[in-house]
Amino acid sequence: MWPTAELHVHIEGTLEADLIEELAARNGLPVPEGAALMARTEPYRDLQDFLDLYYANLAVLRTRADFHDLGARYLARAAAAGVRHAEIFVDPQSHTERGVPVEDVLLGLSSALADARAEHGMSGGLIVCFLRHLGPDAAMAALEEVLPHRELLLGVGLDSSEVGYPPALFRDVYERAAAEGLRRVAHAGEEGGPDYVWEALDILGAERIDHGNRALEDVELVAHLRETRTPLTVCPLSNVALRTSGPDLADHPLAVMLDEGLVASVHSDDPAYFGGYVDDAVTALVAAGTVTPDQLGVLAANSIVSSFLPDGAKAALLAEVRAHAEATGAAVPALVTETLGAGTV
């Protein structure tokens, strides 16, 4: 298993059907009807069709212990997938609007991250995402609500329904987050066009783009992403399930992104809904011929340099990539040699 950094996973999207049932029983709640729909193999109509199911299933998450257990299940599964560092998205508004105190969400997940450090030697952090469909005022209120827990947070992100909610709407929220020293990422170019990616970069100061598939429609943007080495966190199983790429993984734009020299890496998005975790995604990409086995080291190295880890920790994980390559007879990615050789990340 290549050591990797998971940079695009929504913790709510790791809520598997069996945990939904367990939490419903624990909290004396009915099992949401949507739990039975998760096993589907046919694609969703679109992003919104999926989001409706995703939000409805969250009804069972009530207590700090629930959030701990959700995080712990995910992190154990991620450790088995080779994930050495996880920057996890959480949607606080989807819980506070159901009456769950924000500290229970953040403290429950943070305790799971602390346990994973002890049990699996994994590092990680939380990125709070604003639900763009609730608009900028609600996002600002959500930011103010989490800031008393600033020490638990790595950064901010932007997710939920994309089209109709362009990044520019959230300028003030991102400015405020930046003033607090929070790192900035944003979903863009998943369903929205390249203009959404430009806005995320130019107006929000996004340091990474989540998805970014539609950036490929704009040659200037591709050149800009390449020159600035702006990472794209790509989620191929999600794209097939949500019809944001073609139905066949063999045609997934990841191959073009890598050919274009973009810093793209593979992630899982909402693995409980889209048929697998990051190891499953990588296996499926190789089976489809979208990437060659030789490119797996490149993807692993890209994920690590795209993380918000300090340089020393990145170097330590890149050394693990090199060790894995040497142990398995795979090529050591050029990025690893250049970075470790130069002593900087």
Ligand X SMILES: Nc1ncnc2[nH]cnc12
Can you give the binding site for Zn ion, defined by CB under 5 A? 269
Going by C-alpha positions, the residue among 130, 127, 139 that lies closest to residue 8 is 127
Nearest to 96 by CA among 49, 143, 164, 157: 143
Return the number of the residue (91 or 269) whose C-beta is nearest Zn ion: 269
**Distance between CA 13 and CA 253 in Å, rounded?**
23
- Among 162, 190, 191, 199, which one carries the catalytic annotation? 190
Question: Which of 16, 69, 190, 279 lies at the binding interface for ligand X (CB under 6 A)?
Answer: 190
| Distance of closest approach, residue 333 Cβ to Zn ion, in angstroms | 25
Q: Which residues contact 116 (CB under 8 A, 6 or more apart)?
A: 71, 72, 75, 76, 79, 86, 122, 124
SS3 per residue for 89-109: EECCHHHHCCCCCHHHHHHHH
Considering the complex, state which of residue 191 and residue 279 has its C-beta at the smaller distance from ligand X.
Answer: 191
Our finding on whether 87 is near ligand X (CB under 6 A) is no
Rounded to 10 deg, the angle between the 334-342 and 311-328 helix axes is: 130
d(CA 342, CA 336): 10
Q: How far apart are CA 326 and CA 317, in angstroms?
A: 14
10 binds ligand X (CB under 6 A): yes
Asked if 132 and 158 touch (Cβ cutoff 8 Å), the reply is yes
Q: What residues between 231 and 260 interact with ligand X by CB under 6 A?
A: 238
CB of 212 to Zn ion, least distance (A): 11
| Residue in 130, 128, 125, 129 with CA at minimum distance from that of residue 87 | 125
Residue 47, binding choice from Zn ion, ligand X, none, Cβ under 5 to 8 Å by partner class: ligand X
By the rule CB under 6 A, 160 interacts with ligand X: yes
Q: Is 279 in the site for ligand X (CB under 6 A)?
A: no
Q: Is 187 annotated as a binding residue?
A: yes
Q: Is 324 annotated as ligand-binding? A: no
Question: Is 10 flagged in the annotation as binding?
Answer: yes
Question: Is 104 labeled as ligand-binding?
Answer: no
Considering the rule CB under 6 A, would residue 69 count as an interface residue with ligand X? Answer: no
Known binding-site residue numbers for substrate: 270
User: Residue numbers of the site for ligand X (CB under 6 A)?
Assistant: 10, 13, 47, 54, 159-160, 187, 190, 238, 269-270
Binding-site residue positions = 8, 10, 187, 269-270
Residues recognised as catalytic: 190
